């Protein structure tokens, strides 16, 4: 991501904060519509898991200027998610749900440039998760 994209994501996230609770519910509903196979992973309270997601999203947005610290975190997250059965199609659904939710929650405040910046951020971070998942599936080399 370039600095302009980072600024767009961070600026639009300031508009998310006042609607965060509603956004969590929208995101979880949309995600489970797009990827119903994820439902068992969220237990009986997907909204609670959504709140964890929102906290992680806030932390990630705040650290976008530090990709060297974010990428390893997302690789590890991808490895953990792979053990839970999350696959590439789930990342696609999560990205679609995120962008849809941002559009629904922010309306016209989510400019096309900001939406594109969010898409770039998600693509880069989901790629790190996919790399972590792939690495976790590789057999360990023996010496």
Q: What is the pLDDT of residues 61-103, one digit of tens each?
A: 999 999 899 999 999 999 998 888 888 889 999 999 999 999 9
Tell me whether residue 143 is in a domain. no
Tell me whether residue 23 is in a domain. yes
Tell me whether residue 57 is in a domain. yes
Tell me whether residue 142 is in a domain. no
Distance CA 38, CA 27 (A): 13
Q: Are 75 and 132 in contact (CB under 8 A)?
A: yes
pLDDT digits (tens, 9 = 90+) for 16-51: 989 998 999 899 899 999 999 888 887 767 677 778
CATH of the domain at 18: 1.10.490.10
- Residue 80: give the domain boundaries: 3-136
Side-chain-facing half-sphere of 3: CA atoms under 13 Å: 0
**By C-alpha distance, which of 102, 104, 125, 96 is closest to 115?**
102
Q: What are phi and psi of 44, to 5 degrees?
A: -85, -10
Looking at the 3D structure of the chain, how many domains does it have? 1
Tell me whether residue 30 is in a domain. yes
Tell me whether residue 36 is in a domain. yes
Tell me whether residue 55 is in a domain. yes
Alpha helix segments (H runs only) across 17-111: 20-34, 46-62, 67-83, 88-106
Any idea what DSSP says for residue 2?
Answer: -
Tell me whether residue 24 is in a domain. yes
């Amino acid at each position: 991501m370039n600095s302009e994209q980072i600024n767009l994501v961070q600026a639009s996230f300031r508009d998310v904060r006042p609607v965060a609770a509603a956004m969590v519910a929208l995101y979880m509903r949309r995600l489970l519509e797009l990827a119903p196979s994820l439902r068992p992973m969220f237990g009986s309270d997907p909204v609670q898991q959504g709140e964890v997601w929102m906290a992680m999203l806030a932390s990630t947005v705040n650290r976008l200027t530090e990709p060297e610290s974010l990428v390893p975190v997302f690789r590890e997250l991808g490895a953990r998610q792979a053990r839970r059965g999350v696959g590439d199609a789930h990342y696609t659904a999560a990205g679609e749900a995120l962008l849809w939710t941002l559009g629904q929650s922010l309306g016209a405040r989510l400019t096309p440039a900001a939406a594109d910046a969010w898409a770039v951020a998600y693509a880069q971070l989901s790629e790190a998760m996919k790399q972590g998942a792939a690495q976790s599936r590789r057999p360990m080399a023996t010496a």
